[in-house]
Amino acid sequence: MANIEKRGKDSYRLTVVIGYDAQGNMIRERKTVKAKSPTEAKKKLTLFEAEILNGHYLKTENMTLNAFYKEWLEKYANDALTPDTRQNYINILQKRIIPKYGHMKLADIKTIHIVNFMNDLTKDDRRLDGKEGKLSPSSIANCYRAFNNVLSRAAEWKMIKENPASSVKPPKIKVKKSDVYSKEELNELFTKLESYPFHWRVLVLLATSTGAREGEIAALEWKHIDDKKGTVLIEQSLTEVIGEGVKLKSTKNERNRVVSLPAPLLDMLKTLKAKRNAEKLAIADIWEWKDHYFIFSNELGKPIRPDSISQWWARFIKKNNLKKIRFHDLRHTSATLLINEGVHAKVISERLGHADISTTMNIYGHVLAEADQTAAAHFDTFFKKSAENK
């Protein structure tokens, strides 16, 4: 049962009976709307009733941030965000934002609350990992993004008039100059790898030559290797979701790319595949991940976890007294070597899977500048000779 009730000029109250309580009293949902006529009000009543019946109606009056967080999680975050981003936002919301602002009504959260929240994060002892020191600008920016995302959905769904976080500026994040390996250090690295299991040698060479991320390397399957063209297709990534285990997802920026491989690495991949085929044939009945054949998996076909790659790498470089860099820095090493060899930035951008060449320029601008200076130096001899011939 539903009805409209005129409340004032161009104002109507919509009422929908959604059931009865234990005492037989009607349970109503009400909403006041603006309408120019009873006919228009009845149309809005029909839509209101449909929202309630379909479970899409959210009561805006008195809704707290904590209540809306649950709606955001169910109706947005679980589908719209990548597993890594979703988990990151959930951790921030549950540990930093909901405890402080969860009790507040959405409509009562103002810009000054966001400003105070951001300012508080810059103080000492705000880390949650037990370490000393302040939060990094990137961590503070992540906190802002989580808060802003929830409030943006609230504004988008007409729960609030506007997003109070939209006018707050997060801290600027300076791109740190990544530590990379030189050619000499790479040669030392490859020499040390000779005494390690073959699949680790292939994995490190793949990372160095393609610039792929840990998750992308872990997600590589044999179907992605094209022996005839000498390329690898990077179209997916692996991530570990808390409570769910390892999951496949699209690459960062959802940019698939085809990357050419060095001939020696292709030969190594062929050797590794022959070994894997023999192992797979021997235990076909108990092969895990039936629909996938990962390049880097255990003997049962389960893919390597991305974090285990970084963990192995840390142990490897420490044991072999190699310069300490992150596994991810092999990606930066790859880009830096290509820049120094004069490869066009657009080609490098495509190999790395950047959404835009400007991303490549921002990250590797200092390397490009150094390469440009080296290029200019090639003209020194030419101009010197010209000056001497005056």
- The domain spans of the chain are 2-53, 65-156, 183-375
pLDDT value of position 177 = 64
Give the pLDDT confidence of 321-354 residue by residue, as tens digits: 999 999 999 998 998 888 888 888 888 888 888 8
H or E element, residue 277: helix 263-282
DSSP string, 112-173: HHHHHHHHHHTSTT--SSS-SSPPPHHHHHHHHHHHHHHHHHHHHTTSSSS-TTTTPPPPPP
Whole-number pLDDT of residue 345: 80
Supply the pLDDT for residue 388.
57
Cα–Cα distance, 111 to 109 (Å, whole number): 7
Q: Is the pTM of this model over 0.85?
A: no
Burial of 386 (0-12, 13-18, 19+ CB in 10 A): exposed
CB 148 within 8 A of CB 165: yes
What does the pLDDT read at residue 152?
A: 96
The third-level CATH classification (topology) of the domain covering 65-156 is: DNA polymerase; domain 1 (1.10.150)
The reported pLDDT for the residue numbered 62 is 74
Q: Cite the beta strand spans of 183-294 per DSSP E.
A: 225-226, 231-234, 237-241, 245-249, 257-260
pLDDT of residue 24: 82
Return the CATH superfamily for domain 183-375: Intergrase catalytic core (1.10.443.10)
Please give the C-alpha separations between residue 113 and each of 118, 138, 142, 165, 319, in angstroms, as whole numbers: 9, 20, 17, 9, 49
Low-confidence ranges of the chain (pLDDT < 70): 55-61, 173-178, 357, 359-390
